[in-house]
Structure 1
Amino acid sequence: MPFLDEIDDEIRHAGLDRAVALADTPTIFDWLVTAFSFQGISDRVARDYINKHGTASWSAIEASEKNAPACPKLRSYWHFEGCRYDKTSSTCAEPDHIDTCPLPRPQLRNGRLNQTAYSLFLFVRDLADGDLVRWIDGQLDSAKGETTSELEAARQEALVGPLRNIYGVSDKILMMTLSTLLIGAREHRPLWLDTGTAMIAVDTLVHNFLHRTGILQDCDSSHAYGAACYSPGGCAEIIRTVAGRIDARTLNPAFPKRFARFVQNAIWRFCAGDCLNLCNGNRIDDRQACQIGYCHLHQRCGRIPLKKAKIGVKTAT
């Protein structure tokens, strides 16, 4: 399915197009919480668990908050820091209140996700005044930059910066979910499209591709996967630079001219096991140069091993 069609299908299925038009925060919140549940595990496993046990919802959390829970951690977004709820051991930072605490009630896959759901709810209630659409509009409007690149970076940070403090969410998951929401709402919010298309989600597949091909080395940007991928000169900036040299409209007239999120997604699809399944650890011995001779990038690829082979250890031939 084409990239934009894939996004639009998800947006329609979740009712997000209507939710953005009507500033329906509960619907957007429910979708975000569900999307956050997919980090750290395969999509299939996460989806199966959600189908069996359900997920957290705005309406349920809002109802629990109206009953004024006794736990001091649930008083506000700022009080919530250090909750430390653990599902397996049924412990938290306020053990005297755990028996009546509403936070463990959603049957989520682990306690971290319960904390994420409540942290996001309290953020939206206390920092966004219960209106996510207006908050996003305000954050984007407040961003400043003298060049297109500076403005794109400022808008992204205006959104991701505050949300980064929500418990249990990473830059990667924020970029993925926000870009889908922003691109999918383009008919109602053209400014959202400009921001969403510039958002890049760097996972290990994308980072490792840039390493194996020698792109990181050629750009003098060798680094370990993690926060450095989003630092100046990191994976995200490299992809953004490449995207600036590609007119995406030649691939699809419906695309914007510069479409960094699409370029990143194309790299991911080249590597992912359920897509082209070429540049990944299942097909390549991380200690050796890639041997996939039929790959159309083979002759131009740096084929740099992901890991250095240990001295004295015999590698496969």
Structure 2
Amino acid sequence: MLDEIDDEFRLAGMDQAVASGNTPPIFDWLLTAFSFQGISDQVARSYMEKHGTASWAKMEASLQTSPSCQKLQTYSDYGSCRYDKGSFTCAEPDHIDSCPVPRPKLRNGRLNQTAYSLFLFVRDIAGGDLIGWIDSQLEAATGSSEADLEATRQEALIGPLRGVFGVADKVLTNALSWLLIGARKQRPIWFETGKAMVVIDRLVHHHLVRTGILEKCGIPHRYGPGCYAEGGCAEIIRSAAERIDASSFNPAFPKIFPRFVQHAIWSFCAADGLDLCNGNRIFDSEPCQISYCYLFRICEKKALNLHNFKYLRYS
């Protein structure tokens, strides 16, 4: 996992950017990471290869001409832009012809809004210095225990960024953990935060349901906010990480490495990984029949639809 992150860091020039405090490469990488939400990685990657992405340099230049739309004046003004690519409409249609928001050829209008919202956040809230902002947010965080400090540091980053249009906790946590882990050589405190971030997507949630782990070790729930609540998927994975010596897999890993444990579960399920425990191979209404799966003998092979029925009946 570290090799994959390090390769991506070097390719994007982010190792040098973090070391020198250069915001644009970090910003450009985050925008690219946000573009993978809501669609398969392959489709998102193909679209970006064909049409390109938004960038700090182009967006900075587009706003230097002082757009007429008042929503583009500051980060706090930008809410409710409502730009729609298909209909070419927005909340201020009198200004759309000269507006820079539609110019990047992104996959949909929501991503265009995300790009400008994030740019204004970094410019106005972080003072144009994203690396320095992350440093100060993490250093100011306090906690009565290691677990409390980790949670406080995560919230110090994710909390303010929740205001950026179109990026929920899962998207933010996924991108930020990769960034923080990749910067471990220059910023050890970043790694301490990133290694504890756990991302629960549908693959991970459904795996915990199908195997019976969620029912035995946590509180059954639908995919969503319950995954991060008490007794949810994230808590189960963190508890498991405390019982797994991650350094036995790689001496460069810390002994307790929740992000690695979560990523391993995701890799076990994902089509880009081992491609075993997912909806393409298992009907939601039936128990798993993949007898060659490594976990088949100990898995409870629960049907997803049965789990959802029980949840709706008793919640």
Scaled to the shorter chain, the TM-score interval is over 0.9
Deviations 1:63-92 (A, max 9, x none): 111111000110111111100000000000
* Correspondence for 1:150: 148
Q: Distance in 2 between matches of 1:141 and 1:6?
A: 27
- The 5 A counterparts of 1:38-57 are 38-57=36-55
SS of 1:308's equivalent in the other structure is: helix
The answer to whether the aligner puts 1:23 opposite 2:17 as a matched pair is no
Equivalences, count:
309
Q: Distance in 2 between matches of 1:230 and 1:13?
A: 33
Of 282, 289, 292, which aligns to 2:290? 292
Q: Distance in 2 between matches of 1:309 and 1:229?
A: 15
- Does the 8 A contact of 1:287 with 1:309 survive in 2? no
Of 230, 235, 240, which aligns to 1:232? 230
* Correspondence for 1:315: none
* Correspondence for 1:248: 246
Q: TM-score, normalised by structure 1?
A: 0.95
* Correspondence for 1:270: 268
Q: Distance in 1 between matches of 2:294 and 2:45?
A: 34
Deviations 1:131-161 (A, max 9, x none): 0011101111121111111111111111111
The answer to whether the aligner puts 1:109 opposite 2:107 as a matched pair is yes
Q: What code does the residue aligned with 1:88 have?
A: G
When residues 310 and 169 of structure 1 are mapped into structure 2, their CA distance, relative to the original with a 3 A threshold, is: closer
**Cα drift, residue 309 of structure 1:** 9.8
Q: Distance in 2 between matches of 1:278 and 1:80?
A: 43
Tell me which protein shows more helix as a share of its residues.
2
* Correspondence for 1:209: 207
Deviations 1:204-257 (A, max 9, x none): 100000111111111241111112212222111111111111111111101111
Of 80, 83, 105, which aligns to 1:82? 80
Q: Distance in 2 between matches of 1:273 and 1:153?
A: 31
Q: Distance in 2 between matches of 1:103 and 1:70?
A: 12
Q: What code does the residue aligned with 2:223 have?
A: Y
| Structure 2 stretches lacking a partner, 5+ long | 310-315
* Correspondence for 1:314: none
Q: What code does the residue aligned with 1:98 have?
A: I
- Does the 8 A contact of 1:76 with 1:122 survive in 2? yes
* Correspondence for 1:59: 57
The alignment's C-alpha RMSD in Å is 1.5
**Cα drift, residue 295 of structure 1:** 2.0
* Correspondence for 2:197: 199
More deviation, 274-283/78-87: 274-283
When residues 309 and 85 of structure 1 are mapped into structure 2, their CA distance, relative to the original with a 3 A threshold, is: same
The answer to whether the aligner puts 1:283 opposite 2:275 as a matched pair is no
Q: Distance in 1 between matches of 2:194 and 2:107?
A: 29
More deviation, 141-150/92-101: 141-150
Stretches of 4+ aligned residues off by more than 3 angstroms: none
| Structure 1 stretches lacking a partner, 5+ long | 312-317
Q: What code does the residue aligned with 2:204 have?
A: V
